[in-house]
Amino acid sequence: MLEVVDLNVYYGGIHALKGINIKVCEGEIVTLIGANGAGKTTTLKTISGTLKAKKGKVLFQGEDLGKAKTHRIVSLGVAHVPEGRRIFKNMSVMENLEIGAYSRKDKLEIKRDYEKIFEIFPRLLERKEQMAGTLSGGEQQMLAIGRALMARPKLLLLDEPSMGLAPLIVKQIFSIIKDINEKGTTVLLVEQNASMALKIAHRAYVIKNGVVEIEGNALELLNDENIKDAYLGA
């Protein structure tokens, strides 16, 4: 579904990604793990079009996204839940979800999708008229994911969904991500909590200093002593 080929990205004079190669197959959860500043978020931003590569290609279902505008990338089926959630805090939960469906015209299907979102996140139904800025951190993360799902993505990019959340809420969010995947959405996940990410992912890439250092089966990497020492605190 997604192929990232020899991706090179710069922030001014800083060479952030140095020839990254990544593949995501339909139906998978693939996770990118690594230390802060390794290039994980930069990779997601380049895929979703908010950053442009100096060199390399991002191919989504065979189409080169390199020159595509962000809204075009969304319409092709790629939705990005950025680090820090970025919800519209002065708008209601319902208005945030409506923005997620802004590019769609199928009103009946949109209505059905609201119902699906409220099934996945019952808490959002209880708070649908509430201002998004008054939600808890966990509820805001649910809203950010729900808003992205309203675009009906084929590929969901998730950047640090557990950041700043209590352990019980983190467990709930990861369970929801797994469920979303099982219902047919492919997921590319960036996550500082490497242990949790590897437990739900099919495959993983370890990124260090803008380079893919290791790739493989997620469970095998979860049990790899070197990975444990470096990233899992074991």
Residue where the block lists tokens 């739900």: 200
The full set of domains in the chain, from first to last, is 27-49+70-232 (3.40.50.300)
pLDDT confidence of residue 66: 87
> Quick one: pLDDT at residue 234?
43
Which residues, 6 or more positions from 187, have their beta carbon under 8 angstroms from its beta carbon?
28, 29, 30, 155, 156, 158, 177, 180, 181
Nearest residue to 118 (alpha-carbon basis) of 101, 136, 143, 152: 143
Q: Which residues of the chain have pLDDT under 50?
A: 234
The two tokens of residue 117 are 């979102």
Question: What are the tens digits of pLDDT across the range 21-35?
Answer: 999 999 999 999 998
Are 32 and 188 in contact, with CB atoms under 8 Å apart?
yes
pLDDT for position 233: 57
Run of H or E including 158: strand 155-159
Cα(24)–Cα(13) distance, rounded to whole angstroms? Answer: 29
Task: At 131, list the tokens.
Answer: 């201002």
